[in-house]
Amino acid sequence: MKIWPRVVEILGILAIVVPILGLVGTRLGWTGFQFGFLCLGLGVVFGALAFFAGLVGHVVVFARGLGPMSVRPAKIHIRLLVGETMGFAVSALVLVLFLQALQYPLLYDISTDVEDPPVFKNAVEIRGPASNPLAYNEGIAEAQQAAYPDIKPYINEEITVNSAFSLALDVALEMKWEIVFQDEEDSVFEAVATTFWYGFKDDIVVRVRPSSKNRGSIVDIRSASRVGVADMGTNARRIGVFLQNFAEKVKDGEGDIDS
């Protein structure tokens, strides 16, 4: 039993270190996201092996008649427990994240206007051939409305289009988005947001148009992930935060009012 506790400890350490290496490599752009997810999966495998190998180790120690009261078996149990804990923690965390992911629809493209979504222009060139398509169709619209019925355009009958466009740019910059395209004449801009953990690049387009009364403005935003068939609600949350921050700026009196 001299080697077994060490094996369990090593497996537990690998369960933690390997996913971290994958995360760092993906976040810094050294590897593709596939490598990061592969490392995450390997972490789960190492974690499960550490946990079950630790259980086997406990059984073997007791089966040999080495009760937990003597000093040496106690140390063995502690070492096994340390490896088990590391492995179980990683596996349990990933399992929780997986169960959370199952609660979200398979959507990667969200728009406030599902009938006439803002159109990406610059993003088509920078997304790359392996990225998700940017065709927003009826199927996506129906799935989005079912999952996120509160995602709607921001309409204000008092604030001017130019002022709303300027405020929208301010909000985007405050949210640390990278502005990659701007058309002041059409009141449209595009930006790129980077997710915190794996550094995924998501493309955003914001469009401001006159309201039906031609006095105020309508602000629409669309957010689309470049990779993955499901965003775990990231794009919807991003849109919600943007519209909330925008509304707060208007409420605070920022922006020109059309009188």
Is residue 172 over pLDDT 60?
Answer: yes
Tell which of 73, 101, 129 closes a domain.
Answer: 101
pLDDT exceeds cutoff 80 at 241: yes
Report residue 73's pLDDT band, with 50, 70 and 90 as the boundaries.
confident
Q: What is the pLDDT of residues 17-43, one digit of tens each?
A: 999 999 999 988 888 888 999 999 999
Q: What sign does the CA torsion over 142, 144, 146, 149 have? A: negative
pLDDT band at 128 (very low <50, low <70, confident <90, very high): confident
- Residue 194 is part of a domain; what is its CATH number? 3.30.530.50
CA–CA distance, 32 with 27 (Å, rounded to integer): 9
Q: What is the DSSP string of the chain?
A: --HHHHHHHHHHHHHHHHHHHHHHHHHTTSS-HHHHHHHHHHHHHHHHHHHHHHHHHHHHHHHTT--TTSHHHHHHHHHHHHHHHHHHHHHHHHHHHHHHHTTS-S--EEES-SSSPPPPSSHHHHS-TTSPP----HHHHHHHHHH-TT---EEESSB-HHHHHHHHHHHHHHTT-EEEEEETTTTEEEEEEE-SSS--EEEEEEEEEE-TTSSSEEEEEEEEESS-S--TTHHHHHHHHHHHHHHHHHHTT-S-B--
- pLDDT band for position 124 (50/70/90)? confident
Asked whether residue 195 falls in the same domain as residue 240, the answer is yes
State the pLDDT confidence band at 147, using cuts at 50, 70 and 90: very high
Instruction: Give me the residue label for tokens 């992911």.
Output: 101
Look at 53-57, 67-71, 181-185 and tell me which has the smallest mean pLDDT: 67-71
User: Please, which pLDDT band fits residue 140 given cuts at 50, 70 and 90?
Assistant: very high
Does pLDDT of 83 surpass 70? yes
Same domain for 126 and 90, yes or no, is no
In a domain, 257, yes or no: no
Whether residues 23 and 93 fall in one domain: yes
Establish if 123 belongs to a structural domain: yes
Mean pLDDT of 9-23: 96
- Lowest pLDDT segment from 35-44, 61-70, 182-191: 61-70
Domain region containing 88: 3-101
Confidence of residue 259 (pLDDT cuts 50, 70, 90): very low
pLDDT of residue 214 exceeding 80? no
Would residue 258 count as lying in a domain? Answer: no
How many domains are there within the chain? 2
Is this model's pTM higher than 0.75 or not? yes
Mean pLDDT of 153-158: 94
**Residue 128, Ramachandran bin (φ over 0: left; ψ between -120 and 50: alpha; else beta):** left
